[in-house]
Structure 1
Amino acid sequence: MYVEDFLKYLIHEKRYSSHTSQSYHTDLIQFADFITNAFAVSLLEVKGQHIRTYMATLIDEGNSSSTVARKLSTLRSYYKFLLRENRIEHNPVQLLKAPKQSVKLPVFVEEGKMEMLLDQGLAFDDTFVGFRNKVVIEILFGTGLRLAELISLKDQDIDHYNHTVKILGKRNKERIVPLNINILNAIADYNKAKNMQEFPVRHEWLIVTNKGAKAYPQLIYRIVNACLSLVSTQSKKSPHVLRHSFATSLLNRGADLNAIKELLGHANLAATQVYTHNSIERLKSIYKQAHPKA
């Protein structure tokens, strides 16, 4: 019921990515199936009690509170849209609250381990693959880019003169992030190696596969996992861990929270404030180790 119109609204007016819009679509289809089977009602006939039963069922099935909250957020957006379009008279989600969520601290790699990985060259030989893999790690740790942002980088986005990179983030928002000299040197070495490769076709993408095609998510995951495995035993070794490591390092060294927000491309400060928990935990650890009365 007006689901396609809602998805067009998300993409064209809210400027959500196709990936995010697809997640909304999946949530709505799942909800529609549930209420059809459980109550024999359509999406336009839904009441608050139907959604409460749906949320309770999700929890009983073992879904986390964050998953339930996300699905409720989808319904909230959908019924706000229907109300705006005069398709319904009352918003069934208006009085519903999402389940409380426990705060999960972002997983990050300690600075010393990242320095060991990058400065000692533990994972990078003087080949095209070695230079490329180093650029991947240097950029993710040195800029805090998201996985999709890294893959979408083009050669022209790197400003070698001003030492910056132009990033197209979520909802097509552009931001400029500075590049340190280590990243620029790594890119220069990588570009030399890339230009020497006999690729079937030359592309404008910065990070490419062994055959010269645009990099894909699983390739970046494999690179990051293999590199971090050399210096860390933690179970989580994803590109997003390096984004967390970037933000945590800045905060620990006294960077302003608003500046970190802009560098990460967060829409609001609340998303950035989660990193203060890591900083506080670090201070507690230092206090316990150093203070005689701790």
Structure 2
Amino acid sequence: MSRRGTGTRATHQALPPAMRDAVDEFATHLAQVRNRSAHTVRAYVADLVSLLDHAVRMGCAEPADLELGVLRSWLAKQRTTGAAHSSSARRAAAARTFSGWAHRSGLLATDVAAPLATPKARRELPVVLRADQAAALVEAPGGGGTPAPDGAGLPAPRPEAATTTLPAAATATPPDAASATGAAPGSATATPPEAATTTGAVLLRDRALLELLYATGARISEVCGLDVTDVDHGRRVIRVLGKGNRERTVPYGLPAQRAIDRWLTVGRPELAGAASDRALFLGARGGRLHPTMARRIVAGYARTAGLPPTSPHGLRHSAATHLLDGGADLRAVQELLGHASLASTQIYTHVSMERLRAAYRQAHPRA
């Protein structure tokens, strides 16, 4: 059977044969027909295995035995075990998707999940950086984008009881340079002289990465998936392949342009190797930069700059909020972020309103 990254064989072997076949066919449908991402397929299939396992315990031997009461019992059990509202909503969506597919495929006489109410997930407002905090973050590598002579990068996190302050250009390696120098990530060990050039290249990459994340509001997986040819320097736009293989064009500004140009002309040639191919951002060993390492890079520089814990998605939230604060049209922001629904973008209007209320309470004499 051919399917993308579902990883389900080891998790559903205990199900009856008819149930196992349904899981495999559903995974193939999600990946190849619905064009869902590997992450979504894994999540939905895991939910389906949990549902069918619960159904078997209630006496069901095949998908045709599923009833609405079984689905409701399964969701109720999830809630009693402390599942978050967002998890319950996703599981209900998985059950509805499977039920509709099974009915169309002839595995179910009726769409038993059609009357199933989807728990409403609580949408918490995302934490966003102020504009000055975002600027401090993107300018953190190398103290404004220029690598220190000794290849200085991220200082080690300061212990709570520490009484001294690390200098801005502490002799520590950036998170990704540790793999090239042999130092532990975030350590305050001085960079060996022979690794200084590589570390300088890493700093240039980090600056370009942070600038591009904040300038475009793109997802970290989208930015790490960029090739050199996806950057249009003349028009200052990048071509991004987002969720559902939907392609979009996103503009970026002059600071990002300068950082990208310097990375491509000075930094990338230092790290490029046989494994680099056309990847825009490279790891310390020359391969495509992995999103996990990119998250560590963002978190490390946020810590160094004394900012709240920040992730690449936090920069995405910040970019969207700052665009709206600056008067950008909501639908334009939707297009920039690659949201399929305007409802996903509207949460940032609430963030902006909260910031407006906070400013009003602080500044108005009769607030």
TM-score (norm 2): 0.76
Matched residue, 2:179:
none
Contact 1:203 1:212 in 2 (8 A): no
> Structure 1, residues 76-114: CA drift from partner, whole Å, max 9, x if none?
111111122232121121111122332200121111111
Matched, 1:215 2:285: no
Contact 1:10 1:16 in 2 (8 A): yes
**Kindly, what percent of the aligned residue pairs are identical?**
32
Return 5+ residue gaps in structure 2 as ranges.
Answer: 1-18, 148-199
Q: Post-superposition shift, 1:189? A: 0.9
Distance 1:40 1:150, change over 3 A: same
Contact 2:85 2:119 in 1 (8 A): yes
What is the alpha-carbon distance in structure 2 between the residues aligned to residue 195 and residue 85 of structure 1? 53
Amino acid at match of 1:150: V
What is the alpha-carbon distance in structure 2 between the residues aligned to residue 25 and residue 119 of structure 1? 42
> Structure 1, residues 269-294: CA drift from partner, whole Å, max 9, x if none?
00000111101101111111222221
Distance 1:124 1:30, change over 3 A: farther
| Alignment of structure 1 residues 107-122 onto 2, 5 Å | 107-119=127-139, 122=143
Matched residue, 1:167:
240
Matched, 1:184 2:257: yes
Q: How many residues align?
A: 293
Amino acid at match of 1:290: A
What is the alpha-carbon distance in structure 2 between the residues aligned to residue 55 and residue 153 of structure 1? 39
> Structure 1, residues 8-48: CA drift from partner, whole Å, max 9, x if none?
22222221112211211111111111221244443331111
What is the alpha-carbon distance in structure 1 between the residues aligned to residue 225 and residue 140 of structure 2? 28
Q: 1:262 aligns with which of 323, 330, 335?
A: 335
What is the alpha-carbon distance in structure 1 between the residues aligned to residue 237 and residue 94 of structure 2? 36
Matched residue, 2:82:
62
DSSP 3-state at the match of 1:229 = helix
Distance 1:290 1:265, change over 3 A: same
Return 5+ residue gaps in structure 1 as ranges.
Answer: none
Contact 2:239 2:248 in 1 (8 A): yes
| Alignment of structure 1 residues 226-265 onto 2, 5 Å | 226-235=300-309, 237-265=310-338
TM-score (norm 1): 0.94
Q: 1:148 aligns with which of 215, 221, 224?
A: 221
What is the alpha-carbon distance in structure 1 between the residues aligned to residue 300 and residue 139 of structure 2? 17
Contact 2:134 2:315 in 1 (8 A): no
Distance 1:125 1:32, change over 3 A: farther
What is the alpha-carbon distance in structure 1 between the residues aligned to residue 74 and residue 144 of structure 2? 48
Distance 1:266 1:232, change over 3 A: farther
Matched, 1:289 2:309: no
Q: Post-superposition shift, 1:124? A: 4.8
Matched residue, 2:267:
193
Q: Post-superposition shift, 1:75? A: 0.9
Contact 2:242 2:338 in 1 (8 A): yes
Q: 1:206 aligns with which of 259, 264, 280?
A: 280
Contact 1:140 1:146 in 2 (8 A): yes
Q: Post-superposition shift, 1:123? A: 7.2
Matched residue, 2:344:
271
Q: Post-superposition shift, 1:233? A: 4.2
DSSP 3-state at the match of 2:249 = strand
* Higher RCO by CA contacts (8 Å cutoff, separation 6 or greater): 1
Q: 2:120 aligns with which of 100, 103, 107?
A: 100
Distance 1:106 1:36, change over 3 A: same
Matched, 1:130 2:203: yes
What is the alpha-carbon distance in structure 1 between the residues aligned to residue 55 and residue 93 of structure 2? 17
DSSP 3-state at the match of 2:366 = coil
Distance 1:233 1:178, change over 3 A: closer
Distance 1:83 1:204, change over 3 A: same
Contact 1:113 1:232 in 2 (8 A): no
Contact 2:240 2:249 in 1 (8 A): yes
